[in-house]
Amino acid sequence: MRKLINLPEPDNRLKTSLITTLVLLILSSMWIFYDLYAYLGMRANPVPEEFPDNGLGIGIIIRLVLYASFAFMMFYAFKSGLKTSTLTVICVLTGVVSGIAVVLDWAALVDIYHDYRGAGGCSMEWTWLFISLAFQLIFCITGLMLVFNLMKGKAIAATSVKPVINEAFYEITQYVGILCGLAGLTFTVFADISLHEWASRNWLINLILFYCLVIILPWLLMVISWLLKFARRVELSMYDEKQKHDLELSGLTAWLVSIPVMAVVFLFDYPEPGSATGFLWLPYYLFSTLFIFSLSLLLRFRKG
Amino acid sequence: MELGNNIRRLRFDNREMSQEELAAAVGVTRQTIHAIEKGKFIPSTLLAFKIAGFFGKNVEEVFHITDNHGKK
* ipTM at complex level: 0.78
What is the per-residue pLDDT across B37-51, written as a single tens digit (0 to 9) for each? Answer: 988 889 999 999 999
Residue A164 identity (one-letter amino acid): V
CATH number of B2-66: 1.10.260.40
Q: Are residues A158 and A168 in the same domain?
A: no
pLDDT at B11: 92
Residues ≥6 apart with Cβ < 8 Å to B58: B52
**One domain, residues A191 and A263:** yes
| Type of residue found at A254 | A
What CA–CA distance (Å, rounded) separates A241 from A297? 14
Task: For residue A304, give the nearest of B28, B31, B43 by CB distance.
Answer: B31
A147 and A185 together in one domain: no
CA distance A174 to A166: 13
Among chain B, residues having any CB pair with chain A shorter than 8 Å are: 18, 20-21, 23-24, 27-32, 34-35, 38, 40-41, 43-44, 47
The CATH number covering residue A8 comes to 1.20.120
pLDDT at A50 over 90: no
For residue A55, the enclosing domain spans 1-162
| 3-state SS assignment for residue B63 | strand
Tally of domains within chain A: 2
Q: Which stretch of A23-27, A33-37, A203-207 has the lowest confidence by average pLDDT?
A: A203-207
Phi then psi for residue B5, to 5 deg, are -155, 165
**Which one of A159, A236, A303 has the shortest CB-CB distance to B18?**
A159
Residue B71 has pLDDT above 70, yes or no: no
Query: Is the domain of A9 the same as that of A151?
Result: yes
Query: From CA B14, how far away is CA B19, in angstroms rounded?
Result: 12
C-alpha span between A131 and A185 (Å, rounded): 19
Q: Which H/E stretch holds residue B3?
A: strand B2-5
Is a pLDDT exceeding 90 seen at residue A289? yes
* A156-185 pLDDT tens trace: 655 545 555 677 788 888 998 998 999 888
SS3 state at A37? helix
Contacts of A159 (CB under 8 A, 6+ apart): A81, B18, B20, B21
